[in-house]
Amino acid sequence: MRIPLDALSRRPEFPFASMPSAALARSASLSLKTLVLAASVSGLLFANGILVPEAQAAQAAQTTQTAQNSAKTAGAKKTSAKTSARKATAKKTSAKKTKRNMKRTSLRRRTGAAPSQATLAGLRKTEDPLALGSSVAYVIDQDTGEELVVKNADIPLPIASVTKLMTALVIAESDLPLDGKVRITREDYVRSNATSKLRNGMTMTREALLKAALVSSDNRAAHALARTYPGGKKAFVRAMNEKAAALGMTNSFFADPTGLDNRNHSSARDLGKLVSAVYEYQTIRTASTLPSARVRAGRQVLDFRTTNRLIGDPSWKIGIQKTGFTTAAGRCMVVQSEVGERRLVMVVLDSPDNSQRALDMRTMRTFVEAEEAFKRDFSDAVPYELF
């Protein structure tokens, strides 16, 4: 087949090549409209939920990201809620603790700051040769009855836990066995700022209760002794007052066995008689002079310690002692001790603090020792030889 040479030289003809300019313009305009229409149709399809594959992938990625963000936000909100709940609980607990501590502090401040009855009566301003800090002071020779120190000794005042010496005396003179068992009950939970190691249901002997009452001044122990007395607490208190009358304690009255009731009162001179009476019982002497005591309460073992700073001091030979404190009574202490060749009963009431209470005792003992030395050294001297 022969191809004409002119055919090889001719250029291929395109549709638009033979079109006039106007027709070409119309065709271009049509193509542009076609593209615009196609884009519009695509947008319309996307708006109506009919997605092309690329759009579907883009929306899926966006949806996943949105879900992840929502999950993160929900998790953050949940964590924040838990944190807020914990903070609220901690804040509430802290508020309760703060309120409780403020209440305790306020109670301690009221207890320590309030003046005693003796202070309100102006007894602490009473002058004495020894410059004692206590409102009341008294020293008597146990054997001869000679009074060596007397300061407001006949004024009846609250005596706080010194009351427990009368409680011990009534128990010692009763027919109740000291090895008899006593069960602690809720009734023994007397109202007091002082703590107690005795719990409801504990079973203890009367001797163990005496040690708890006299060594660490446990109020529940004293109450349990009175509650289990024949006739109950009322009969016990009646026996306390009958014993006081028998001892000649004319300025004394007892309303309860613990000393927490401020109606309990006595004078220093009356307390001298009480100490001399309880000294006759070895059980009381032993229990009141222990620096510490370990007693059994059922399966438990309880430890008690004294608050008397003179116990354990080798320079003191103490046969009986008892301390006490309430707001109305102030700090109180009674001691039976050997000083030289004498057996003395010493009493201080309404001391401003424990240190002054012990210091006044030492001051009175030093005074008696000096007087004994003076009598010993100058008993045979004639007056003019002294000068």
Per-residue model confidence as pLDDT tens digits over 8-22: 444 444 444 444 444
User: What confidence score (pLDDT) does residue 326 get?
Assistant: 95
Residue 141's nearest CA partner among 344, 353, 386 is 344
User: What confidence score (pLDDT) does residue 289 get?
Assistant: 95
**Percent residues over pLDDT 90 in the chain:** 61
Active site residue 164: yes
User: What confidence score (pLDDT) does residue 60 get?
Assistant: 55
d(CA 175, CA 180): 11
Question: Is 0.75 surpassed by the pTM of this model?
Answer: no
User: What confidence score (pLDDT) does residue 194 get?
Assistant: 83
Active site residue 217: yes
Given the residues 116, 135, 161, 216, select the one marked as catalytic: 161
Taking a C-beta distance cutoff of 8 angstroms, is the pair 333, 361 a contact? yes
User: Does the pLDDT value for residue 222 go beyond 80?
Assistant: yes
User: What confidence score (pLDDT) does residue 86 get?
Assistant: 73
Given the residues 116, 134, 135, 217, select the one marked as catalytic: 217
> How long, in residues, is the chain?
387
User: Does the pLDDT value for residue 53 go beyond 60?
Assistant: no
Quote the mean pLDDT of the chain: 81
Average pLDDT over residues 339-359: 95
Per-residue model confidence as pLDDT tens digits over 234-275: 999 999 999 999 999 999 999 999 999 999 999 999 999 999
Given the residues 116, 135, 151, 164, select the one marked as catalytic: 164
What does 259-287 look like in DSSP terms, one character per residue?
A: S-STT-BB-HHHHHHHHHHHTT-HHHHHH
Per-residue model confidence as pLDDT tens digits over 139-165: 999 999 999 999 999 999 999 999 999
What does 298-313 look like in DSSP terms, one character per residue?
A: TTEEEEEE---TTTT-
Backbone angles phi, psi at 274, to 5 degrees: -65, -45
Per-residue model confidence as pLDDT tens digits over 282-329: 999 999 999 999 999 988 999 999 988 899 888 899 999 999 999 999
